[in-house]
Each structure stands twice: as structure tokens, then as C-alpha cells.
Amino acid sequence: MAKITTSGELREFLCSAINNVANGTFDIQKAREVTKLAAQVNESFYSEIKIAKFKSDTGKEANKLGSLPINGD
């Protein structure tokens, strides 16, 4: 599998996993783990968008999505 680098590629991967579970070619335990990881990625996207909206609403420049500093700088 190639490295996932965009939200579209992530959705494509997840939809493929769903289809593979449905047709019996993807282990259900692995699917559970993928679901947990996908939820964490989704939370990260959601948080970053909320911060960007807050910055925009307060007249500050929002970071490009995917470039938000996490170390407080």
C-alpha cells in the first residue's frame, strides 16, 4: 500500500477497507483497529479546522491545514 498523504486518499482507503470487510477479504479484527485509527485522524482534522475557524473569526491568519504547530510555538 502506498503512503496516504491526502484526506481523499484516506477516504479511498477506508472505503476500500469497508468493501473488503463486506466481501470477506479483510480480517474483522484489523478492520476494528483501522476504525479506531481513522477516528483519531478524523478528530485531528476536526480540531485543526476548529482552530482555523477560530483564528479566522478573530482576524488572525489560519495555518495551512496540516501545518498547525503542536508544541505551542
Query: pLDDT confidence of 1, banded at 50, 70, 90?
Result: low
* SS3 (DSSP) at 27: coil
User: Could you tell me if residue 48 is inside a domain?
Assistant: yes
What is the value of pTM for the model shown?
A: 0.70
Burial class (CB in 10 A: 0-12, 13-18, 19+), 31: middle
User: Could you tell me if residue 1 is inside a domain?
Assistant: no
| pLDDT digits 0-9 by tens, 11-42 | 899 999 999 999 999 999 999 999 899 899 88
User: Could you tell me if residue 40 is inside a domain?
Assistant: yes
Whole-number average pLDDT of the chain:
89
**Is 9:1 a contact under the CB 8 Å cutoff?**
no
User: Could you tell me if residue 5 is inside a domain?
Assistant: no
User: Could you tell me if residue 21 is inside a domain?
Assistant: no
Contacts 24+ apart (CB under 8 A), 21-29: none
Count of the separate structural domains present in the chain: 1
Domain of residue 44 covers 27-58
